[in-house]
Structure formats: C-alpha cells, structure tokens
Amino acid sequence: MATKRKIPERKCVVTGEMRPKKELIRIVRNKAGEVFVDPTGKKNGRGAYVTGTLEVIDKAEQSNVLARTLNAEVEPAIYEELRELVRSES
C-alpha cells in the first residue's frame, strides 16, 4: 500500500485560508530588513504567503498586510513583481 505524502500547506496572509504551498507566493524579509519575492520558497528569513491571484495581491497592497506581517516597509515594486509573477504563470 503506497503512503500518500502530506502536501505542505501554508496560510495566505490576505485571505486567511490554508492552501497547498505550491499555490502561494512567498515574500521574505531577511535579517538586514530587505523585503523580496521568493519564488523558490527556500530563502532564509521571515516569510509571508499570498495567494497567486491579482485580486489578492491588490488587496494585500491596499490593506498593507504584508508590511504588518513582515514588520518591514514593503516597496510598491514588490507588488509589481508579484503581479508580473502571476501574469507569467497564467
């Protein structure tokens, strides 16, 4: 009998729903306080996950939830990078 591997899930900081890690995009704040998009999901630092849709990214920008979660300034360029990532995947 093959054992079914558990799919790692993470919580989207905008919607609050648990989703498979692969469906989410990770944003990281490193020790130096720099915030950047981490498409690999493996970089060191404090991570926050957002669902990979334009609506959720827009909502994240309006509510400033990423800045609060990561406790750091989130540049508008980060949201643009997230949108580009979503557009390139769809």
Helix (H, G, I), strand (E, B) or coil at 76: helix
Supply the angle between the helices 76-89 and 54-63 in degrees, to the nearest 10. 170
In a domain, 48, yes or no: yes
- Domain that residue 48 falls in: 9-89
Residues 12 and 63: their CA atoms lie apart, in Å, by 14
Task: Report pLDDT digits (tens) over 4-18.
Answer: 888 999 999 999 999
In a domain, 72, yes or no: yes
In this predicted structure, what is the pLDDT of residue 89?
79
Task: Report pLDDT digits (tens) over 11-66.
Answer: 999 999 999 999 999 999 999 999 999 999 999 999 999 999 999 999 999 999 99
In a domain, 2, yes or no: no
CATH at 75: 3.30.1230.10
Q: Kindly report the pTM of this predicted structure.
A: 0.89
In a domain, 18, yes or no: yes
In this predicted structure, what is the pLDDT of residue 4?
81
In a domain, 3, yes or no: no
Q: With 60 as the cut, is the pLDDT of residue 1 above it?
A: no
